[in-house]
Every structure is written in C-alpha cells, then in structure tokens.
Chains A and B, each alone.
Chain A
Amino acid sequence: MKADSLKQSQIMTILSIASMGVDIMIVQNTMVEYAGRDAWISLLLGGILGVAFGLNMYLLANLYPDKCLPYIIIELYGKLIGRILLIPATLYVLLYTGLSINIFGQTLKTFLFDNTPLYAIVAVMIGVVIYAVYKGIYALSGVIDIIFPVALTTLITLILLSLQQVEFDNIKPILYKNHVKVLKGSILGLVQFQGFGLISYFHCFTNGTKIRLKWYFWGTGIPVALYGALTLVTIAVFNPDSLLSLIFPTLTLSKSIEFPITFLERLESIIAILWISIAFGSIALSTFTSVENISALLGSKNDKPIVLIHIPLLMIVSLSIKNGIKVIEYYQMLKYALAGLILIFTPFLVITALIKKRRQKVQ
C-alpha cells in the first residue's frame, strides 16, 4: 500500500477544488447584491486578499511542517485554551459542510431530479464523501487530481460559450461612484476563497517538504481568475438587476446558451452533471478538515471512528433546513462569521507562532 503522502503539485489541485464546489453556483448573486455591476472587481480584490491571508496559513504550515492546523493551535495555546479556540472553527467547518451538501441537493433537485427526495440526494453524497475520506488522504487527493481538469474544462467552456450572449454595456460605467461598495464587497469576496486556508491542513501530508510558492500561487490563482471571469460574464449576460433575481446564476447562464442547431440543447444538464464531481471534491475536502478538527478537539489518535461519526452529523445538519432560500441565507451568514475568523484569528495565530518560534531559537 502506498504511503499517505501528497506531491507538491497536489496542493495546487486541492486548493483550487476546495474553493469551487457549491459557491461557484451562487457566488454571482451574492456579490452583485453587495457591489452591483462592479461585483467582479470586488471578487478579484477578495481573491487577492484571500491569497494574502492564505499566505499566513502557508507561513504557519511551514513553521510546523509536521502538523495540521488544529494541532498547531493546540501546540501554540496549550491543550485547554487551544481546544477552546478550536471550537468555533470546528463548528464552522461542520456547519459549512452540512449546508454545502444541502445546497448541492437543492440545486440538483431544481435542475435535474425534481421528484427525488432531498434526503436521498444528501445521503448518496454523504455516503461517497465519507467513503473517500475514510480511504485516507492518498485516495482523496487522487480523486481530486481527476476532478481538477474536469472542473477547469467545465468552467472555461461555460465562460467561452457564454461570450456570444455578452453585452459589455451591462458592466459600464466601471467603478462609477461605487468604490466604497466594491471595497466592502471585497471582504465578501475574500470568504469565497476560504479554501486557500486548507494549505494549513494538507501541508503536513507532504512528508515535511516545504511547499514551493509556485504551487500555492497556481492553486489560488486559478479559482480567483475563474470566479472573476465567470462573474464578469454572468453580469454582462444578465445585467445586474436581472442577476439579483437568479438563485443559481451559473446554471441559468448555461441555460441561456443557444446553439444554432439543436446540438447540446440541454447544456445545463451536462454542466450540472460535471458540477456534481466538483461539488463532491470540495465537500470531501471540507469533510476531511472537519474530521481533523474533531479528532484534535477530542484528542483522538484514530481518525476512522471520527469519519464515521460524520455520517449522522452531516445528515442532521444538511437536512435541518428544507427551504433552499433559507439555506443560502444561513450559508451566507456563516460566511460573514468566517470573515471575522479570517481577519482576526489568522494574523493573531501567525504572530503567536512567530513569537514562539523566536523564543525557542533564543532558548
């Protein structure tokens, strides 16, 4: 059996897929609500902020190359305070994963399986996610490697095909009396790229080698560019006012594409099917981090029971809300909470780690 270790390049695929998933279906609506026609600029700024904050995590992971984030927190602040600090992050990841599964189910119910009960879609997703996580990091990263080109091809194809519908007047005038909203919106943009923080969870699986910045920047740059381009194209196709009424703009965008011949008449179904694999990858990665968090919180040496506990936990969270709009609202609220966590907690964590390392050197 191969060792549970990652190649450097796999960090790129993990960071990219972790940032896509469910958000890629709804991000445009959220961003336009905040920043109007300039939402794509907010998103790009948010992406740059995300890369910067992710660098904190990169630095932290390099300071503790054999530990993942929850164990680093415990190492830095001690068993009691470290675990107390870990509680909000653990709750966040668990709720985020559960709500992501719910949104995934709602999207599929809306566009593909209208008669299939939500619990059936959710149960199947949780089943395959848990199986992948149970098999360990090697199996999970292997699947992510397969999903990565699928995700890239799907999104680039969608963006290119949508260009025929684009009206660039819909994004003009650019930045006209909208600077403040764009800057505020960039904070919301930042949380769309929370997946960048996952470097602090997966770095320790690279056998202690320092991850080259090149892979980090590729892994973060690809989703920022794709999100930015997708949001720009969606606004240019629908115009900001129309976009506000769309719950799933990306799938609606794929429904808007028309071929002169009836070839690919149901493009959105193909996009939805390909998106299932992207969502699976993203949800599996966040489940993996949830397992790591709970293991560290409970001080468990064996991850397997913790993985299995996630079956009922995720079922409860993901089936607790039935209405699609309510789920998205709670999901957004959760993200605002994350913005606080990232902005306050991340620099605090890195500064503590640097001070501690310096003290150790002095000693």
Chain B
Amino acid sequence: MKRLALLLSFLILLTGCWDRRDIESRGYVLGIAVDKYPPLPINPNEVGSPTESSDEEEKKLELIELYEPPPIYSITIQLPVLKKAELTTISTGGGGGEQSKTWEITEAGNSFVGVSRDISTRNSLILYYEHLQVIIISEDVARDGIENIMDFFLRDPEMRRRVKVFICKEQAKKILDVRPRVEDYSALYLAKLPLNATRTSKMVHLSDLGEIINRMHAGFDFLLPTVEASKDEIKTSGAAVFSGRKMVGWIDGLDVEAIKFMVGTYLGGVVTARNPADDSIVVLEVTKSKSRITPVITGDMPAFKIDIKVEGDYSEDVYTHSHGKIDSRYLEKLDDYFARQIEKRCMIAFEKLQRYNADVMVLKRVLETKEPEYWEKISHRWDVIYPNISVVVNVDVDINLQGIVK
C-alpha cells in the first residue's frame, strides 16, 4: 500500500514543472541596441536596409500605447532565427529579410521591461536574456546619462554581468543590422572582438555590465568602447569617455592604448616609433607591460609618478635595412625610442582626459588608498584639482627577441 502511494505521488510530483519552457518557444536575445526615439533614418540606398515603404510600415508597428507617453527610447533586440541558422547566403533586406538568420525588432518606449513585454504583441517567442551578448548604446543616449537606462540590466535576474557594452557614434540599431561575412550573428561577432585585446590594445576590453555598474556605484569615471559599422563589418577602436555617468567625449585607439599602459591593463599590441638616425619606422610587439602609480604630495596640488615597465620583441623595421646592424647598443637605442614614444602618447592621452575632466584612470582611488589622510582633505575639491594635476611618466622598455635576423 505504501509503495503504491509512493508511486502515485511520483505521478504528481515528477511530471510537471511551473518553469517548463520548450527550447523552441524561447526567443534568445543576442543583442540590444538603444537609440533615442525617433531613430535616425537609415540610408535607403544602402544595401541591406529596408525599403522606404517597408520602413514606414515597420515604424507603425514600433509604436504602442504607453502609460506615460511620449516614448523616449527606440530599443532594438536581435533574435536568431534558429530555423535559418544553417543558411550560408548573406541577407538582403535588413531587419528581417527572407534570407536573414536574425530578426531585429524595434519598439519605441520609455522603459525596457515595457518594451520587452510589448514586443510580445509582435513576436510569438518568449524573450530570454540569459544569452545576451552585447548592449549597444547610441551617443545621444549616452550623453544624456548611461545610468538612466542601466536599471533593467542590473535588476533582471536573467541578465549576465559579463554582457559587453558599446557606444555607437551613429544609430545603435545599425550595428545589429550588420550581416557579418564570417560570423552568423552581428551580436556574437561584436562580442568576440574584445577577445583580441591580447593582439591590439586600441580597443577597450574591460567594458562589461558588471564593470560599469561597479564603477558607477563607486563614483568612478570610465571608458566604453566605440563601435562603428558598415553593412557587413564592425569595428571597435577608441572609446567614449564618461565623466559623472554621462558621456563627455571620444578618444581614439592610440589614447586607449596609452591609458592601458598607464593603468596596467595592457594585454598586448604593437608600438611603432621613428628612428631619428635614418627616419625609419621601427616596430615593437609588446609582450608584457606593468605599471605603478605613485602619488607625490607637494603642497596643495597632488602629482603622480607613473612607472611603466614594458617588455617586447623587435618585430619590424620599415624604410631601412637593419640586417647585420643589430647589436646591444642598437637595441638600447631602440629601447629608448620606444620608451619616449610611449611616454609621449601617455601624456597626450592624459591631457585629453584632463580636458574632459574625466578621471578614468581612477587616480582618486590611488590617493584614497595610498594617502588616505591627504585624500580626506582634498576629496571635495577633486573635480577642480584633477584638470590641473601633473603627471610624470617614466617608461622602461626591454627588447627580448628580435626575430631570426640580426
């Protein structure tokens, strides 16, 4: 009797689950693009963009009744069309063409949860954010303040803290509309680019949601990678500078590289310098870089000494023929050229940051941790002090290898 009761209880306990979802009924959101409403018009002549009439039709669908109109954001999500995942042809007709492997749905609204639910009026799949790869934010939205749009990404338990965040100079949706040549989905393509940070340091690689949230909560300024696109290509180089949670400007890839040298997050890349002896270009492939920032307190104004130790391999010379010339004295000269070049680039980048009044190197934390008493005295004036502080950068370069020719 007991066994029978046990077996019957299995029928009730083991046959159902409130959270059961068939895998094919889920809509796996791979990317989110956030633009201001109304979005910028897409060039109708561009291959891959919708025709004017289909664009107009889609615009009607993008609008839905809101509790608190007008809509502020135009939010686009990218869903993979799993049935077409094996297609090898490149899409023609963006935003959901017949051959497209993805579906980019745009909806206007003033809250992300609202938009996410309203998309259910146009899409039978249940949106699922656990596999979200990238969030792309347009410059307009970023300049208004990135904090305004972050709550949903923080609060929702489906969100992952390792989702990469990018800032786009143009319309953010355009990045999701890219039909990549190698990858299947533009969101995945973009999410993988920062993995190349060991090969080039011109891109910001520490730009995930968790990193931004930590910096915002701690009151630190930060950088987010810039992203641009053509119809089938995406490029990330340089960064958007954020001060006080609002975007204040742009810096280029070389600035990003210099900042990475200074804060010690340089993973790998190439430094070129001019050899003044023969005006040739010499190339160093950096294999290791370390930095130490030391505050120097003299009177009211703090200064910082940044010591950078760089190791690398001599990779190339251009406009000259150094074969047979490389000896220890020549290498010492090269060390010096590279060191001066890095110092110069560091100073240029730092001055730009000072102009933006953006302490993205978090020098204030250096002061707080190393000179806490002094920091207490000046912390309330940091915004005024920071643009005027001086920095001394000392770079020491060591060349380890030089290839197979002398």
Contacts and interface: CB of A to CB of B under 8 A. Distances in A.
A142 interface: no
Contacts of A114: 19, 157
Contact of A242 (B162, B217, B369, B370): B217
B213 A241 contact: no
B217 A117 contact: no
Interface string A90-109: 00000000000000000000
A269 to B, nearest CB: 9
B305 interface: no
Interface string B195-236: 100000000000010100110011100000000000000000
A172 B369 contact: yes
B59 interface: no
A244 B208 CA distance: 20
A336 interface: no
Contacts, number: 51
Nearest to A176: B372
B18 interface: yes
A256 B195 CA distance: 17
B18 A117 contact: yes
B383 interface: no
A59 B369 CA distance: 44
B195 A260 contact: yes
Contacts of B292: none
B19 A258 contact: no
A252 interface: yes
Contacts of A1: none
Contact of B161 (A112, A241, A255): A255
Contacts of B147: none
Nearest to B366: A169
B161 A252 contact: yes
Contacts of A360: none
Interface of A: 110-117, 120, 165, 169, 172-173, 176-177, 238-239, 241-242, 244-245, 252, 255-256, 258, 260, 265-266
Given A176-B372, A266-B130, 7 more contacts: A113-B19, A165-B210, A173-B368, A238-B214, A242-B218, A255-B160, A265-B130
25 contacts: A111-B157, A113-B18, A114-B19, A116-B17, A116-B19, A117-B18, A120-B18, A169-B365, A172-B368, A173-B369, A173-B370, A177-B372, A239-B217, A241-B219, A242-B213, A242-B214, A242-B218, A245-B154, A252-B161, A255-B160, A255-B161, A256-B162, A258-B162, A260-B195, A265-B131
